[in-house]
Amino acid sequence: MKNIDSHGHVSGKSVYVDDIPELRGTLHAVPVFSEMAHAKLLNIDISKAKVATGVVDVLMAKDIPGENQIGGILPDEPLFAESEVHFIGQPIAVIIANSHFEAREARTLVEIEYEELEVIIDPRVAKQKGNLLFPSRTFANGDIDFGFAESDYVFSGRADSGGQEHLYIETQGSYAIPLENNNIKIYSSTQGPTSVQKFIANVLDVGMHNIELDVTRLGGAFGGKEDQATAWAVMAALAVQKLKKPVKIILDRDDDMLVTGKRHPYSSDFKIGLDKDLKIKSFEVTYFQNGGAAADLSPAIMERTLFHVTNSYFIPNVKATAHSCKTNLAPFTAFRGFGGPQAMFVIESAISFAAEKLGVAREKIQKVNLLKSGDLFHYGQVCDSNNALKSWESLQEQFDAKGELLKVKEFNSINTFIKKGISLQPICFGISFTKTPMNQARALVHVYQDGSIGVSTGAVEMGQGVNTKMMQVAAKAFSVDVSRIRVESTNTTRVANTSPTAASSGADLNGNALQIACNEIYERLIKVASNLLKKDARQIEIKDERVYVGNEASKLYWNELVETAFLDRVKLSEVGHYATPIINFDKSTEKGHPFAYHVYGIALTTVTIDCITGVYEFDSIKIIHDFGNSMNLTLDIGQVEGAVVQGIGWMSIEELDWDEKGRLLADNLSKYKVPDVYAAPKIIETLELESEGPELAILKSKAVGEPPFMYGIGAFFALQDAIRDFNSNYKMEFNAPLTPEKVLLGLYGFNGK
């Protein structure tokens, strides 16, 4: 089944926040942002802006009736700065005008007096000064000292990975509408409608029941709208509360890029110990997470980093410490992988470093350390499959990885200025929100009298196709055609207290809740059929919209059955509630069983470098991915391909940098490069790992949103492989992204000085 949105998307008919027809009298708001990364606010003069053409009002912290606070996990983030600003782009006020352009014009008339304070952008410097966003954490298992003593080889090094702009095609935005009795309805481009509802209620000093969030779909999110859609929705609602008029905020691309948080840059120190057989005996790592100016989701992201320390390898002795460092940059936030990719880059760097020093192939170390069923993750969960090893073997069989490695060697032996590089990149990613209470969901199902079905869940459609999957779940539960089913918008009045659609678990959590609701109605319908046909309910089932008794088709069809049930006054609506069983985690010991299951896979990446310019092209990426029992391979492969290209971008051409004043340098699309169709690998081939899907995955179809992002890490090591062939004195540095500039420096030995 294709994504139900495909036609709407390509014909431009899909509705996003900015496409909702505007009510008469709609006002437009533009936030005023700090131009200093760290400063005291001495004076904010809005008098000129307030009387500018078209301006209706300017709201600031003093206009907030409730709490000036939107910190997602910790209360450290005001909606509007009051006495100090902590990053360029921190909101100070919001201008409401008759048009977006008038509001934007008026913004230039706001006069702010700052007193500059010291700006810190480097996480290691922040740590040295004791600027942490929250307490550091350590996950440990075994005894690293014993492990290093047992090791024949020990190596220490450093690895750095950069940030990443989400570049969702639809920028942040919301549209708030006054309802009667002081209630407000907000359309928001958010992954987390309930979280937005909660913060609006808190800032406006009203109940959550006064606030209705509605989300039709997002034009991409990638984590960037898990926490950071809140501010814009709250501002719009605040203006509605005061002005009693509809208010819309849609960020312009340049504002969006400048002011919203991105993937966390990390700087890390590692120490790895191996024995003669290349078994990793001990691994010690310290992560310096660049958290930005407020906690945002950093505590959860840091936690996921600590879960993915060892990627898909078994290491008996592990000690991993993470510090979330407070810097004067826009608070870094969720981004596909959520701290996992940053951890996995470090262990892969450590392995490469060891391989280089020992003069062995990187793949040798990877292979002998792959996780096996029964191995213990350092956080206490037991590995329950051999999928890491199976993926490796399947890659050999399906894509002849050994042959490909030889081909690259051959190519390089006869070419001087064009070099190829190749890498293998296994992945292992834990599925579930690391915060156990978030792993719950609800769904509301109505079977209408005519046999059609309305479905509401907490899942937010953001292009990933979760609505299509919800339709499949309902269609399968009732055994009816998908054309009977409508998936409604995500709405807090219909489905309350939702977790954000995140952590790759939108389909699992909401699909299970939906299945539970459908099954309840299904059982009631079976009873009705049983009475009608005078047969034992246990013999009855619905197949393809027809009632069967045993294997025999009856004359009773879905429509009549539903109509009869309605006339019998049977309840044809249901709410399903699902909470992932089994999972737990004890923060006092940092041990438990946090994940419902893990997703595995492996990628083979080949790259070609032009050694005169440093420019490169990715020839191919060949992937064996652990889909479980995919319920929609078209959608799932789409997720793999998108994630892989995004991961390659993070490791290769996407570069975020700031000047010493804390100003983002690549703040528009002519400076910030994302992979286009030419930068993406020429060939992307994805095959399914043959494996049984786990019971805890919806219809045994594993979560797919984030894991394949981490195949992109292989791009970095494929590039290094090619550079090394050209320059035998290449000093291996693990500093991603490996842009063409850095490749060129590496080719001619200028890297690392």
Binding stretches for ligand LUZ (CB under 6 A): 223, 226, 297, 300, 304, 334, 338, 433-435, 502-503, 706
Q: Which does 191 bind (CB under 5 to 8 A by kind): ligand LUZ, ligand MOS, none?
A: ligand MOS
Give the range of 13-21, 334-342, 685-693, 720-728 binding ligand MOS by CB under 6 A. 334-342
Helix axis angle, 506-533 relative to 466-478, nearest 10°?
Answer: 20
Out of 346, 503, 542, 704, the only residue in the binding site for ligand MOS (CB under 6 A) is 503
How far from each other are the two terminal CA atoms of the chain, in whole angstroms?
54
Q: How many Cα atoms sit within 13 Å of 252 on the Cβ side?
A: 14
Q: CB-wise, 3 or 499, nearer to ligand LUZ?
A: 499
Q: Which residues contact 47 (CB under 8 A, 6 or more apart)?
A: none
Q: CB-wise, 289 or 720, nearer to ligand MOS?
A: 289
- Which one of the listed residues 35, 706, 733, 741 is annotated catalytic? 706
For residues 208 to 227, the per-residue mask of contacts with ligand MOS, x marking binding by CB under 6 A and - elsewhere, is ---------------x--x-
Report how far Cα 130 is from the mean position of its chain's Cα atoms: 29
Contact 81, 31 (CB under 8 A): no
Q: How far is the CB of 340 from ligand LUZ (least distance, A)?
A: 7
Dist. CA 580–CA 508, nearest whole Å: 9
Q: CB-wise, 341 or 681, nearer to ligand LUZ?
A: 341
Q: How far is the CB of 4 from ligand MOS (least distance, A)?
A: 22
Q: How far is the CB of 472 from ligand MOS (least distance, A)?
A: 21
Which residue shows structure tokens 């997720």?
A: 639
Q: Which does 392 bind (CB under 5 to 8 A by kind): ligand LUZ, ligand MOS, none?
A: none
Helix (H, G, I), strand (E, B) or coil at 51: coil
Eight-class DSSP state of 687: E
Helix axis angle, 230-243 relative to 193-204, nearest 10°?
Answer: 40
3-state helix/strand/coil string of 313-371: ECCCEEEEEEEEEECCCCCCCCCCCCCHHHHHHHHHHHHHHHHHHHCCCHHHHHHHCEC
Helix axis angle, 713-726 relative to 340-358, nearest 10°?
Answer: 30
Q: CB-wise, 3 or 646, nearer to ligand MOS?
A: 646
- Cβ neighbours, 10 Å, residue 554: 16
Q: How far is the CB of 180 from ligand LUZ (least distance, A)?
A: 35
Q: CB-wise, 60 or 343, nearer to ligand MOS?
A: 343
Q: How far is the CB of 462 from ligand LUZ (least distance, A)?
A: 13
For residues 80-119, which are near ligand MOS according to CB under 6 A?
A: none
Q: Which does 304 bind (CB under 5 to 8 A by kind): ligand MOS, ligand LUZ, none?
A: ligand LUZ
Q: How far is the CB of 584 from ligand LUZ (least distance, A)?
A: 14
Out of 502, 526, 651, 719, the only residue in the binding site for ligand MOS (CB under 6 A) is 502
Q: How far is the CB of 195 from ligand LUZ (least distance, A)?
A: 10
3-state helix/strand/coil string of 227-270: CCCHHHHHHHHHHHHHHCCCEEEECCHHHHHHHCCCECCEEEEE
Identify how many contiguous H helices and E strands the chain contains and give both numbers.
19, 30
Eight-class DSSP state of 459: -
Q: CB-wise, 506 or 746, nearer to ligand MOS?
A: 506
Q: State the greatest distance between any 2 C-alpha atoms of the chain, in Å, as a whole number.
A: 86
Q: Which does 714 bind (CB under 5 to 8 A by kind): ligand LUZ, ligand MOS, none?
A: none
Q: Is 335 in the site for ligand MOS (CB under 6 A)?
A: yes
Catalytic residue list contains 706: yes
Q: Residues 155, 426, 608, 684: what is their CA dihedral angle, to the nearest 10 degrees?
A: -170
Out of 281, 336, 625, 742, the only residue in the binding site for ligand MOS (CB under 6 A) is 336
Out of 46, 239, 334, 485, the only residue in the binding site for ligand MOS (CB under 6 A) is 334
Q: CB-wise, 171 or 366, nearer to ligand MOS?
A: 171
Q: Which does 335 bind (CB under 5 to 8 A by kind): ligand MOS, ligand LUZ, none?
A: ligand MOS
Dist. CA 704–CA 643, nearest whole Å: 9
Give the range of 179-187, 242-250, 328-336, 688-696 binding ligand MOS by CB under 6 A. 328-336
Residue 377: closest CA among 311, 323, 286, 280: 311
- Residues with catalytic roles: 706
The footprint of ligand MOS (CB under 6 A) covers 191, 223, 226, 334-336, 338, 502-503, 706
